[in-house]
Amino acid sequence: MPKALVLYYTRTGTTEAMAKAIAHTLREEGLSVDLVHCDNFSLHTLPQYHLIVIGSPTYYGNMAAEVKKILDESVRFHGELNGRVGGAFTSSGNPAGGNETTIFSILQALLIHGMIVKGRPEGSHYGPVAIERFDQQAEQECQEYARELAKVTKSLWAS
């Protein structure tokens, strides 16, 4: 069974609600899922995951420092994540408040690791975004995104 990590940072709970929805759907799709806040993450576990989905609040159009710290430390495993599947999501205060650049900042690091990321022709193209709160639309986006990531992961890593 492919293993997934849903890693997130949150201060006021919106990104956490997204992370929980993504983790729930990934489990429904048959993946083994670890849902972990950045503060509780053990870096040495990183190479065991076939799918890594990272969520951060949008802070000045970028990921939170806590997420960046983990990504910078992930250099320890540079090369080992090649071919794994990755994704990103964010919550922001404003609709055009830098949420897409935040998602890109995370995806950029995952791509440099050699990971495979997936866009979407409908909805939020780069990854789910919640504006101010975790509403029904955000929940639906998280579920759809997780289903698509699960499909790619299972096609590559089912064994």
Give yes or no for residue 114 binding ligand FMN (CB under 6 A): no
Where are the extended beta strands (E) located within the chain?
3-8, 32-37, 51-57, 85-92, 116-117, 129-131
Give yes or no for residue 98 binding ligand FMN (CB under 6 A): yes
Give yes or no for residue 57 binding ligand FMN (CB under 6 A): yes
Tokens of 83: 């071919």
How far apart (Å, rounded) are the C-alpha atoms in residues 65 and 9?
9
Give yes or no for residue 14 binding ligand FMN (CB under 6 A): yes
Partners of residue 32 on adjacent β-strands: 3
CB of 90 to ligand FMN, least distance (A): 7
CB of 54 to ligand FMN, least distance (A): 13
Contacts to ligand FMN by CB under 6 A? 10-16, 57-61, 91-94, 97-98
